[in-house]
Structure 1
Amino acid sequence: MIRVASPVPAIEAGPSDAPRPEEWDDLFGRARAPHPHYARHVVEAHQRAGLAAEALRFVTVRREGRLEAALPYRMVRDLSGLGGRVARPFLSPFVTATAPLVADGPDAVFDALVAGLGAASGGRAWRWPLLSLDGPAGAGLVAAMDRAGWRRATVAAFERPVLDRRPSHDAFLAGHPHRARLKDLRRRAKRLSEAGAVTFETAASGPGLERAVAAFLALERAGWKGAAGSAMACRPEHAAFARALFGPTHGPVGARADILAVDGRPVAISLALTGGGTATLLKTAYDEDRRACAPGLLLEAEIVRACHETAFADRLDSATLAGSALESLYRERERVAEIIAMPPGRDALSLERRVRLARFEHRARDAARRRLGR
C-alpha cells in the first residue's frame, strides 16, 4: 500500500488481495453506478468455474480503513508491448464492462486509485478495454489520470445501447426515433402468435431460475453457436460459470431470466444480472427455427415493457458490442472505449506505437472472424 497526499485524511492505495466479502459487498452498494462484473458474486463465480485465478490481485483504495475503490487486474504479455508485460483489468468472455468500483465521494479517491494503478503495474502501461467513458467511474478515472500526468489514447470506441426508464411504457414509445422498427415488431409478434399461445415470464431465484438457465443452455447449443462450438454448453467451464452465476446469490447482485414461450416451449431466453438500479443483459438465446419472427428481439421488447411496468430497474444495459440489434430499440447510448494509459516516466515504447500495435491486433482479429464466417 502507498499513502497518497490528499486533503482527505488517511487514504491508502495499491495492489492487494481480494477484499473481504462484507466490505466488497458494502462497496458495491455505495459505488457510483456500479456494474456487476466486478461484484463479489460474479468474480467468485468466475473462480468457481476455473475462469479466474483464485488468488486474483486487486488495486484497492481505503480511506480511514474503509474500502473506497476496487479493481481486479492481471499483468499479461501483450502485443501492445511487443510481447512485454502490461496491466489489464480482469477480463473473461463474459465481462462486458471494466470500470472500477468506486464509492460515491471525493475526487481524491480517484487520485489515490490512479496512484495505486501505477504502483500495481510497476510503472508499466495499462491496456484498458470496455471502459465506459460516460459512466461516473470511467469519467472520474480518466480525469484523475489526466491530473496525474498520465498519457493516454483511444484504441477503439463504440456507442453501446442503454435504456433509461421513463415514467411509463407509453412515454418510452412516444417520439421513438425508430418507429419503423416498432411497427415491424408488432407485425412479427402477430405472426408468432399464429403459432400458438405466446407468454412472457420471469424467474429470479430458486427452481424457476435453475430451469430457465438449463433451458437457455439447451436453446443456445441448438443454434449456430452450438454448431460452431461457442455456445456456453459446449465448454464445461462456461456451463459451470452459468450455473454458478445464476445460482443462489448472497449480496447486492441479483439474477434474472426472462422467457418468451409459445405453447409453453421457450423460443427466447435472456439472462441478466441486477444491482445498483441497473439490469445488465448478459446473454440471449432464441429458437432459430423461428428466426423470421425475431423472437429474441420480441423478448427484448417485452423486457422493456416489464421494466416500465414493474420498475425492476432504472436502467437497462445491453452489454453489447457495436452493431447490436438493440440499437433500434434502446434510445440512449453510452460511449465505451479501449484505451492505453501510461504513468509518467520513461518507457521503451511510445504511446503512439502501442496504439498502432493494438489497432493492428484488432484488424487481424476482425479479418480472422470474417474468414471464419465465410
Structure 2
Amino acid sequence: MSNEIDVRACKATNALVSAEYDLREFAAKDNIEVSIDWFELLQKQVYPDDPGVRYYFVVEKNTPSIILPLRLTNKGGVRAIESLGNYYTSLYTPLLTNDSDLLTLRHMLASASCDHGGAHVMRFAPMDPESPVYKGLLSELRAIGWIPFKFFCFGNWFLTVDFNWDGYLKKRSANLRSSIKRRNKDFAAEGGTLEVVTNTDGIEQEIAAFQEVYTASWKIPEPYPDFVPSLIRRLSTIGMLRLGIARLQGRPIAAQLWIVGEGKASIYKVAYSKEFASLSPGTVLTGFLLKHVIERDQVKEVDFLIGDDEYKKIWMNDRRERWGIVAYNPRTIIGFALLVKEVAGRTAKILRKKIIEIFLKSQQLGSRASWIFRLKVVAPTPQSPRDQEMSWTIHPIAQFSDFKNEWDVLVQSRPGTPFLGSAFLLPLLDIFGTGEEQLCLLHSDGQLCAAAIMQRRQKSIWQTFQPSQLPLGAWVTNGNIDLVSACSELMRRLPGLTLGIGASQIDPQIQSRPDDSAKVRTQDYIQTAWVDIEGSFETYWEARGKNLKQNSRKQRNKLQAEGIEIRIECITAPEDVYKAIEDYGSLESAGWKAADGTAILPDNAQGHFYRKMLENFCSMGRGRIYRYWFDDKVVAMDLCIHDDAAIVILKTAYDESYKAVSPSTLMRQDEFQQLFQEQKFPRIEFYGKVMEWHTRWTTQNRTLYHVTEYRWAWLKKLHARMSAPAEGPSQETSSPAQT
C-alpha cells in the first residue's frame, strides 16, 4: 500500500462525528441509502454488536473524500469482506464527494484485506452496474491482485417523470386508468380516506398505523422490528418522509412508505390488510401517492426498488438491473480454492446447458435419421411432395387417449415439463375441460412434431387450453418447429372462420420467442424462477442471503429450545396420495385460500384433480409429496412432479398458525438439501410468478410469454385500438404467499 494515502478506519459513524469531520457532503440527498444517516441507522438496528463493522475513509482538509462501509466476517475459516448492507438494502455504494478519486479505493480495499489477516473473498451488492464506482471497484480489485466476477441481483423498475398527473395517466393502459377511477370511487363510497404524512406531527400514531397494517398483511414479519419505525422517524426529521395511510372508517387498511429526496421518489415498503383486498386499497394508495410526488414534489424519477414483480410494470415505464461483485484472493489457499470453485461452477453451468442442447438435438436428429433409413429400406419409392408436407389434423378431445402415447413421446423429447404429459392433462381435461376442446396434431414425414389442445375463447378466436392448474399452455413441439408458421397453418385448419389464434404461457427454454410482426404480437407474461442443482448443498446454502440463513437458524433454535421435533417426509406411493391430499386440504382450508375459494379440498374439483394426477405420477415413479412435521402435526407441504430433467413444485401450503417460525422455509431448506444430495435432477422449477420469497432461494429467472397471431394485419391494429393490452396482476391479486 502506498504511503502517500492515509487510509483510516473506525467502527461506528459516531467516531466520525466525534472527530469533528465535515460530513455535510454525506447527508441524505436524492437517496437516503447513499448517506451517512443510512449506515448509522443500519448499524444501530441491524448490527449493533457486530465487531466486524468498519468504515474506511481518507481525509482531505478535514473532510473524508470517500467512506467505504464494510463488514469483516469469519465463517468456517473463510475470512470475508462484505458491503455493509442486508435485507433492507436496495442499492449499495461507497459514499463519495464531488472530488472523490476512485483510485483511492485500491488502497482502502488493500487496507481492509490487511486488517482482516489477508481476507479470502470480498462481496459487494446490490450495485448499479453502470455507475463509475461499480466499474472502479472491479478495476481496483484487479489492481490489488484479486480476481473479481460479476453476478446478477435483481431487476429494478422505475419511471422517468416529464409530465403532470394527467400526462402520466394518458401514458398508462386504459385498464389501469379505469381501475384507478373505479377503485377510488368504491373506496370513497365505503368511507375510505387517504393521507400523506410528511413531518414529525403525530408520527408515533402514524407508525402504529403502519405496523397495524403490516401485521394484518401477507408480509413476513420484519426480522429487525425497530428498523422501519426508526427509518420513518429519521425521514420525518429531514423532510424525506412520504408515509401514505389508507383508512376505512378510521381503521388503517393500507400503508406505503415512500422516500422523497432531490427529484426522486423511492417506493420502499407497501402493505395492505388481506381482509380488505376486495377494495384494492394498495392500488388506491399507490395512485394517490404517485399523484402527490408528481404534482407536489415534482420529482423527476419514481423508483420501485427491488424486484421484477409483475404489478410494477403496470405503473412504471423502464427497467434496469442491479448487480454485485464477488472477488477472490488467489494468494491465499482458501481464496484460491474458492476461486477454483467459482470458475468450475460457472464453467459447469455453461457446459451443462450446451451439453443438454447438443444431446436433445442429437436425439431428435438420431430419431429422424432412423426414420429416414427405414423409409429407404422398407419403402424405397420416393414420396410425393404432398406426402412430405407438414399438415395439422384436428380431432375431438375425446380421442386424446387414442393419441396419448404419441403425445407423450413428443413431450419427452423436450424434457423439463412433466405437466404437459398425458398423466397430467387427462385428469385436467376430465375435471376442468368443457369437452369442446380440439386436439391438434402436426405431422411431418409421418412423425408428430407439434401438438396442441385448443379451446374456443370467443366465436372466432382460439387459444391453447390452460386452466390455472397448468403452468404452461398445452402446446408441445420437438424444438424444430417455427411457432409463427405452425400457428398460421393451424389457424386455417381449425373449424369455422378463425380470426386469431393464441398460444399462452410459453417457456422460451422450450420454444424460442418469435419477433413481433404485422400479424404477430408477443407479450411478456411473468418471470419464473428455478434453482440449478449443482455442487454441494453447503455451497448453495452459503451463497444465499444472510437474512434467510439467519432466520432459518433462529427458527430452528427456537423450535429446539421448545422441544419440538421437526422432520420431513417424502411420499411417493400412489396409495398414500389420498391421505396426503386430505392433509394438504387441511392446511389450505385453514388459511387465506379458503376465503379466496382456491383451496384444495378432498371433495372439491381441485382436490379430485390433484389426487388423480399425483396418483398417476406416483404410479410412474415421477410424483413426490413432501410433508413437514412439528412433532405429530403436519405444518407444511409441497406437491411435486418430475421427469429426468427437472422437479417441478406445483403447490405449497403451510399452517398459518405457525407463520412466526416459517415452516415452509424450513421445509424448503430440508427438501433442497435432500435434492442436492440425490443429484437426480439438474434443476428445481417453480413455474410461478417470481415473488420476493423466490429471490431468497435463487437469482435465476426467465420470462414466459404469450403469442397471438391474427389472420390479417389490419385486424391486429384494430384489436390494439379497441382493447387495452393485457396487464399483469395488481398488487391485490398477487398471491400473498406460496401458491
Shorter-normalised TM range = 0.7 to 0.9
Task: Report what 1:170 is aligned to.
Answer: 538
1:9/1:111 CA distance change after superposition, 3 Å: farther
Q: How far off is 1:355 after superposition?
A: 6.1
Report % sequence identity: 14
Q: Relative to structure 1, is the Cα distance of residues 128 and 29 closer, same or farther in structure 2, using a 3 angstrom cutoff?
A: closer
* 1:217 correspondence with 2:599: no
In 1, Cα distance between the equivalents of 2:676 and 2:724? 44
Work out which of the residue numbers 709, 724, 727 in structure 2 matches 1:341: 709
- 2:705 partner letter: A
Cα displacement (A) at 1:250 = 8.5
Alignment of 1:1-374 (within 5 A): 9-17=388-396, 18=400, 20-31=403-414, 33-48=415-430, 50-54=431-435, 56-77=437-458, 85-98=460-473, 100-104=475-479, 106-107=480-481, 110=483, 113-120=486-493, 122-132=497-507, 134-137=508-511, 139=512, 142-143=513-514, 150-154=519-523, 156-176=524-544, 178-195=545-562, 196-233=564-601, 236-249=604-617, 254-347=622-715, 350-353=718-721, 356-359=724-727, 366=730, 369=733
Q: Deviations over 1:204-261 (max 9, x none)?
A: 1233333222211121112222233321218721121121111234887822101111
The match for 1:81 is none
Gaps of 5+ in 2: 1-383, 735-739
Equivalents in 2 of 1:168, 1:24: separation in Å?
36
Structure 2: distance between partners of 1:8 and 1:261: 60
* 1:61–1:112 contact (8 Å) kept in structure 2: no
Amino acid of the structure 1 residue aligned with 2:678: T
RMSD over aligned Cα, in angstroms? 3.2
Between the aligned partners of 2:419 and 2:475, the Cα distance in structure 1 is 10
Distance 1:181 1:368 in 2: 25
* C-alpha contact (below 8 Å) 1:88/1:126 kept by paired residues: yes
Indicate conservation of the 8 Å contact 1:14/1:119, yes or no.
no
Moved over 6 A (4+): 5-8, 250-253
Taking the aligned partners of 1:130 and 1:75, their CA distance within structure 2 comes to: 17
Deviation sequence 1:302-353 (CA, Å, 0-9, x none): 2221221112422211122242522221231121234433345542753533
1:42-79 CA-to-partner distances (Å, cap 9, x unmatched) read 1111133x2113453133211222222211121113xx
| Residue 170 to residue 92, structure 1, CA distance change in 2 (3 Å) | same
CA distance in structure 1 between the partners assigned to 2:535 and 2:527 by the alignment: 24
Alpha-carbon distance in 2 for matches of 1:285, 1:320 = 14
Distance 2:647 2:547 in 1: 26
Distance in 2 separating the partners of 1:354 and 1:172: 49
Residues 103 and 297 of structure 1, relative CA distance in 2, 3 Å threshold: same
Whole-angstrom CA distance in 1 between matches of 2:486 and 2:582: 40
Taking structure 2 as the reference length, the TM-score comes to 0.43
User: Which is further off, 167-176 or 290-299?
Assistant: 167-176
Cα 1:208–1:192 shift into 2, 3 Å: farther
Secondary structure, counterpart of 1:96 in structure 2: coil
Larger relative contact order (Cα-Cα within 8 Å, sequence gap ≥ 6): 1
One-letter amino acid of the counterpart of residue 21, structure 1: K
Equivalent residue, structure 2, for 1:80: none
8 Å CA contact 2:387–2:445 kept in 1: the answer is no
The structure that has the greater radius of gyration is: 2
Classify 1:215/1:352 alpha carbon distance in 2 versus 1 (closer, same or farther; 3 Å).
same
SS at match of 2:452: strand
Contact 1:72 1:89 in 2 (8 A): yes
**Alpha-carbon distance in structure 1 between the residues aligned to 2:552 and 2:571:** 24
> Aligned partners of 2:707, 2:723: CA distance in 1, in Å?
8
Letter in 2 for 1:15: I
Cα distance in 2 between the residues matched to 1:338 and 1:22: 27
Tell me how far 1:115 sits from its aligned partner.
Answer: 3.4
**Partner AA of 2:683 in structure 1:** R
CA distance in 2, matches of 1:253, 1:28: 17
Aligned residues of 1:260 and 1:266 also touching (Cα < 8 A): yes
